[in-house]
Structure 1
Amino acid sequence: MKKSTKRLASIAVGALLTAGALTACASGDTGGGDDGGDSAGAAKIGLLLPETKTTRYEAFDRPLFEAKVAELGDYEVLYSNADQDAAKQQQQAESALASGVSVLVLDPVDGAAAASIVNLANAQDVPVVSYDRLITGGELAYYISFDNEKVGELQGTALVEKLEADGKAEGGILMVNGSPTDGNATLFKEGAHSVIDESGLKVLAEYDTPDWSPDKAQEWVAGQISQYRDEIAGVYAANDGTAGGAIAALKAANVTPLPVVTGQDAELAAIQRIVAGDQYMTIYKAIKDEAELAAEIAVKLANGEEVTGDTDVDGTPATLLEPVVVTVDNILDTVVADGFYTVEDICTPEYADACAAAGIQ
């Protein structure tokens, strides 16, 4: 994929709000691709998300998107989750198109395979918004995501700087990358390598985690511990799920102290691991901004309006939001300040003492 022609300095989400009366809409949960709603006369918007192993999609992306669409007018959301199955997502897309959606918002299981969905939608004059992961084929109407190569750069930089501060600038690391079918995972890895390869760190072994599976990440890391145990100073984990799997393997093997572990997505469990000192950092992405902007773009496209981006990616108008590093030192200033979590969410009884020690209260 070509890099975007410019970096996004700021976003103007409000500029995309649809004018006119705002009324509530019904939202249809299609689950396996069936229409669960019955909003007579309402324009239909398809929302297809890729999987549930990453908690963000069901906990944040879907409800935030649906709430924003409801705010913007009388539209019905036909929702499906593909459970990391590209063939299932193809069927869900075909079902949504057969149901008469005016626009598809598609977060692909497999960015290349999803091109067939885009082509099918194009043939029916249904615009497609590529959401969070880039679809590499077909004529896209818009692309909304984060600067994914920068995500990897931030992860790599945090890992290198922490190990340098700990006096382990030439230590060994494991790289637990994301799914090989996710184009974003490729960008995370490229960004991380651009930093790590220039450092004194030694990559002991590297793994592309099928389906972003925490269990598979745990199994792989467990195998590496038996070979490299005392050499492991850090673990580059591409997201919080794989980080959790890596940490579980390290704890099961009684590795102490725990290596420096990265992550991404600011999952609640990861924030709690950071508070407890088990995970060093995560990447916070403003999913609310992403989901709401996707809803605004979808409504505009459903109404036949023209949309323009802040930048472009491979000739597609795009918005790339800015990722933020979260460590124990800025939890209050990031995920709590944005209302992503409350202190009460994070500081459950199990983490109360660690929260107090970190000044999170």
Structure 2
Amino acid sequence: MNAVTRRAVIATAAVSMALSLAACGQAGGGDSEDKGSSTKIGLLLPENKTSRYEALDKPQFEKAVKAACSDCEIVYNNAVSDVVKQKQQFDQLIADGVKVIALDPVDSAKAAGWVKDAKAKGVKVVAYDRAVPGADAYVSHDNNKVGELQGQALLAALGSKAATANVVMINGDEKDPNAALFKKGAHTALDGKVGKIAYEASGEWDPKVAGEKMSAAISSVGKDKIGAVYSANDGMAGGIITSLENAGVKNVPVGGQDAEVAGIQRIVAGSQTFTIYKSPLQLAPEAAKFAVNLLKGKELGAQGATDGVPSTLFPPVVVDKTNIQTTVIADGIYKAADVCTADLAAKCTELGIK
């Protein structure tokens, strides 16, 4: 998807959201502290080790809801990777009269039971980014495609070396259903096209754990025998790259995901090869649209269905040093100043980032 097409998709999504939510402001001005209120929307995000949740998803979701529904109250919590804490947050939202919850679960399998209980109490759930069985709606990106793009980008970086390369795979948390899709997609792209997957483990979405697993891979495979590293996200890629540098391993392609500013900076610097951009300008407005439409009993406006749940899945985009300007900068996710710190200014100029 080129930059012009992507901005058109984002603009269309924004217009659709505005039209769908226009009637929201008519909801009658009851006391927002009233537990019977129908204007409360909950947002529960899973962790804060991945910076995108606090830096991008949360503010974009809040902005999208408030822009179209001034009397909707948003109640937010982050589970900091603790499924027990998230269950408490979920239950508290229901106790406080929240009628729709946008939930990005720490553990989707466990969250399925929460959704069932919520439905019995008349509470609707939008599965945000990660699928939850039984949810009323689901919005995400095509997560199998994310993995395929990651694998294809590694192959492109390896070039003629791919057929004999030893690849290390550091996957996401096994409790996250998206991690399984990323892994599956990456294997689809890599299996049979690289020498072998020489080491594979879960980094648990934790940069420290991922770095430790990378160190173990270096010991197992040999520091001079690693051809490329698949990292399921940018946060873990940071820990992986630190381990590679500490071991003196150089010029090894490392991929990532989420287009975190730190990941983009590593791409500019040359230590990370690519990331996958999943625009919150698509994800958050669509989730907001679903949430408010459920609140008001309106048609969802989903693009399709996933395992029987009405859903919209957006296409992901590979970002490397050639298209930083036309993706995350052009879309307004980051300003050039966010990326181009003093030590990166010269390289940013070379890459046309402005």
TM-score, length basis structure 1: 0.89
Structure 1 equivalent of residue 193 of structure 2: 199
2:68 to 67, 72, 85: 72
Tell me by how many angstroms 1:20 deviates: 3.5
**CA offsets 1:157-189 (integer angstroms, 9 cap, x no match):** 010121015x44311110000001000000000
Tell me by how many angstroms 1:357 deviates: 2.7
Give the structure with the higher percent helix: 2
Q: Does 1:187 align with 2:205?
A: no
More moved, 192-201 vs 259-268: 192-201
Structure 2 equivalent of residue 142 of structure 1: 137
Tell me how far apart the structure 2 counterparts of residues 38 and 217 of structure 1 sit (CA, whole Å): 43
Tell me how far apart the structure 2 counterparts of residues 359 and 67 of structure 1 sit (CA, whole Å): 30
Tell me how far apart the structure 2 counterparts of residues 154 and 168 of structure 1 sit (CA, whole Å): 16
Tell me by how many angstroms 1:67 deviates: 1.3
Q: Does 1:235 align with 2:232?
A: no
Tell me how far apart the structure 1 counterparts of residues 225 and 107 of structure 2 sit (CA, whole Å): 35
Q: Does 1:335 align with 2:328?
A: yes
AA at the equivalent of 1:46: G
Structure 1 equivalent of residue 21 of structure 2: 18
How many residues in Structure 1 have an aligned counterpart in Structure 2?
A: 338
Contact kept? 1:86, 1:109, Cα under 8 Å: yes
Tell me by how many angstroms 1:10 deviates: 6.1
Q: Does 1:275 align with 2:271?
A: no
Tell me how far apart the structure 2 counterparts of residues 50 and 21 of structure 1 sit (CA, whole Å): 27
> Match of 1:114, SS?
helix
> Match of 1:199, SS?
coil
Tell me how far apart the structure 2 counterparts of residues 116 and 104 of structure 1 sit (CA, whole Å): 14
Structure 2 equivalent of residue 56 of structure 1: 52
Equivalent residue runs for 1:172-321 within 5 Å: 172-210=166-204, 212-227=205-220, 228-255=222-249, 257-321=250-314
Tell me by how many angstroms 1:38 deviates: 5.2
AA at the equivalent of 1:148: N
Tell me how far apart the structure 2 counterparts of residues 292 and 39 of structure 1 sit (CA, whole Å): 26
**CA offsets 1:11-35 (integer angstroms, 9 cap, x no match):** 8523343123759xx9xxxxxxxxx
1:120 to 94, 117, 121: 117
> Match of 1:318, SS?
strand
Tell me how far apart the structure 2 counterparts of residues 143 and 21 of structure 1 sit (CA, whole Å): 21
> Match of 2:163, SS?
coil
What's the Cα RMSD here? 2.2
Contact kept? 1:102, 1:126, Cα under 8 Å: yes
Contact kept? 2:162, 2:193, Cα under 8 Å: no
More moved, 242-251 vs 304-313: 304-313
Flag as ranges the 4+ runs of structure 1 deviating above 3 A. 9-12, 20-23, 37-42
AA at the equivalent of 1:207: A
Tell me by how many angstroms 1:233 deviates: 1.0
Tell me how far apart the structure 2 counterparts of residues 341 and 264 of structure 1 sit (CA, whole Å): 16
> Match of 2:210, SS?
helix
AA at the equivalent of 2:16: A
AA at the equivalent of 1:110: D
AA at the equivalent of 1:280: T
Structure 1 equivalent of residue 152 of structure 2: 157
Q: Does 1:109 align with 2:106?
A: yes
Contact kept? 2:38, 2:295, Cα under 8 Å: no
Contact kept? 2:151, 2:190, Cα under 8 Å: yes
Contact kept? 1:173, 1:202, Cα under 8 Å: yes
Contact kept? 1:173, 1:204, Cα under 8 Å: yes
Contact kept? 2:166, 2:194, Cα under 8 Å: no
Tell me how far apart the structure 1 counterparts of residues 162 and 283 of structure 2 sit (CA, whole Å): 37
> Match of 2:312, SS?
strand
AA at the equivalent of 1:133: R
